A = this chain, B = another copy of it.
Amino acid sequence: MTTHPWADDRQEGDDKFHEECAVFGAWNVADAAAITALGLHALQHRGQEASGIVSYDGKKFSSHRGLGLVGDVFHDTRIMAGLPGSCSVGHNRYSTTGDTLLRNVQPLFAEFEFGGLAVAHNGNLTNAHGLRRALIRRGCLFQSTTDTEVFIHLIAISLYATVEDRLIDALKQVQGAYSLVVLSQDALMGVRDPLGVRPLVLGKLPGAANDASGWVFASESCGLDIVGAEFVRDVEPGEMVVIDKSGVRSVKPFAAQRSGFCVFEYIYFARPDSVLDGMPVYNVRKQIGVELARESGIEADVVVPVPDSGVPSAMGYAQASGIPFELGIIRNHYVGRTFIEPTDQIRNLGVRMKHSTNRPMLNGKRVILVDDSIVRGTTSRKIVDMVRAAGATEVHMRISSPPTKHSCFYGIDTPERSKLLAAQHDIAKMAELIGVDSLAFISLDGLYRALGHEGRDAEHRRYCDACFTGDYPIPLVDHDQEFGPGTA
């Protein structure tokens, strides 16, 4: 009913995959809810539809959740005052379903026999539907439509005595991708699924009194930086880090597995100043640009990024190719709401709310446009048209990801396959549809090289690259049951 602030983003300029969520947690920290809100703010790019925080002050849990950006949901000092305590867990949501009900906004919270528990989840379960049906048959009442609520009920009906054991009991029944931050009366827990598909890092605030205070979890290291926390380490795939009054413990309830970290985090999702699994994201992106220049170099006058995500790769491309890097497309930072009805007049004029061309940098030039991905191709077409209208004589598009041909089932919002341009057409046809003189994507091996490997080793896959390859490392239980295996 409300026009969301980023609606324009999606209508006009944003033909991207979208990260679904960010999580954050704080243990034994002054102003825990404020620290959490700041962390969520730094992680805003991972989810802009809704935000929530649950805090605990040693006696009771308090919560506030709302639709909108972190700064909107927590804009009021009275709201922050209503979230007392030194422990806290928070969540940003990007809904995949259009179903942004307030009751779906995380962290989910419930009162159990053993007390309260708040759960924040980044990822997506692949067997949630089946579990949900079984739980409902048992008499469980679901309050949300999120897969995350499955965790809650599994914990509630578990026969184990401690929260920790009940949580492990629940984890063993689910399949899928999850980075969880869980807050009980006694502990803050950070968990990654056995393949570690989504990121989760552990940090520590300076000046912490002892081993049991000052801890924070965040989806990315930039969530630590904003609050001045020191990066301690990534939570490992399949690990549960438990922080309580005795300090920090590591629990590993799963057998060791090969890693399956989402490679698209490096390409687009993560913030450029984050360091994931020891690799600075910005460096990886620049290096992809370098590889791209090597793989599909072409003569041209300028390298122009599609802002903002194409900038580092374009810089790498420019440095490797020696072609000047120029800001030929300017992004309007006051994007805000779509406030104008698209009448015929408005449409005919080709109004661009989000991008504008820097005509003198494009006019009469052979232009290499660098972007991070092509999803439906709608935006790419518009941008190419703009660049040509500004006088570019040639337009060559270089993409810093391989062609995205498959949907994601692990927590990323992707269109269904039939809407993915690369799933329907070969590169020549794509170039034609987008209207470029040439089009090239980084190769899979080039991508792995940019990440410091020799290339992709299908036997010992290092990352989840299913959106490029269709090689899904976690079984798609619900999907296969509904549509049949091999249809993703």
Q: How far is the CB of A2 from chain B (nearest CB, A)?
A: 10
Q: Please list the 7 inter-chain residue pairs (A to B) with the smallest Cβ-Cβ separation, ordered nearest first.
A: A71-B336, A228-B349, A139-B157, A280-B360, A44-B334, A30-B345, A273-B358
Q: How far is the CB of A453 from chain B (nearest CB, A)?
A: 19
What are 27 A-B contacts with C-beta separation under 8 Å? A1-B78, A30-B343, A31-B346, A38-B351, A42-B332, A48-B334, A69-B334, A72-B337, A76-B339, A77-B341, A80-B340, A111-B136, A141-B156, A222-B330, A226-B353, A227-B351, A228-B348, A228-B349, A228-B351, A229-B349, A273-B358, A275-B359, A280-B361, A311-B327, A315-B326, A319-B324, A333-B333
Please tell me if A410 contacts chain B, counting CB pairs below 8 Å.
Answer: no
Please tell me if A460 contacts chain B, counting CB pairs below 8 Å.
Answer: no
Question: When A113-B137, A325-B325 are in contact, do A330 and B271 touch as well, CB less than 8 Å?
Answer: yes
Residue from B38, B41, B82, B273 in contact with A330 in the complex, judged by beta carbons closer than 8 Å: B273
On chain B, the residues within 8 Å of A42 by CB distance are 332, 356
Across the two chains, which residue of chain B brings its CB closest to A221?
Answer: B359
On chain B, the residues within 8 Å of A343 by CB distance are 30-31, 34
The interface size of chain A toward B, counting residues with CB under 8 Å, comes to 89
CB pair A75 B111 closer than 8 Å: no
Please tell me if A312 contacts chain B, counting CB pairs below 8 Å.
Answer: yes
Please tell me if A447 contacts chain B, counting CB pairs below 8 Å.
Answer: no
CB pair B156 A139 closer than 8 Å: yes
Chain A 202-220 near chain B by CB (<8 Å), digits 1 or 0: 0001110000000000000
On chain B, the residues within 8 Å of A139 by CB distance are 140, 153, 156-157
On chain B, the residues within 8 Å of A206 by CB distance are 349
CB pair B37 A330 closer than 8 Å: no
CB pair B222 A356 closer than 8 Å: yes
CB pair A153 B137 closer than 8 Å: no
Please tell me if A481 contacts chain B, counting CB pairs below 8 Å.
Answer: no
CB pair B75 A339 closer than 8 Å: yes
CB pair A37 B152 closer than 8 Å: no
Q: How far is the CB of A77 from chain B (nearest CB, A)?
A: 5
Please tell me if A308 contacts chain B, counting CB pairs below 8 Å.
Answer: yes
Please tell me if A56 contacts chain B, counting CB pairs below 8 Å.
Answer: no
Please tell me if A171 contacts chain B, counting CB pairs below 8 Å.
Answer: no
Query: Could you list 16 further interchain pairs (A-B, Cβ under 8 angstroms) beyond the known A34-B340, A227-B349?
Result: A30-B345, A34-B346, A38-B346, A41-B339, A48-B334, A74-B340, A80-B339, A110-B143, A111-B136, A111-B142, A140-B141, A141-B141, A225-B356, A273-B330, A273-B359, A282-B360
Residue from B72, B75, B112, B315 in contact with A325 in the complex, judged by beta carbons closer than 8 Å: B315
On chain B, the residues within 8 Å of A74 by CB distance are 339-340
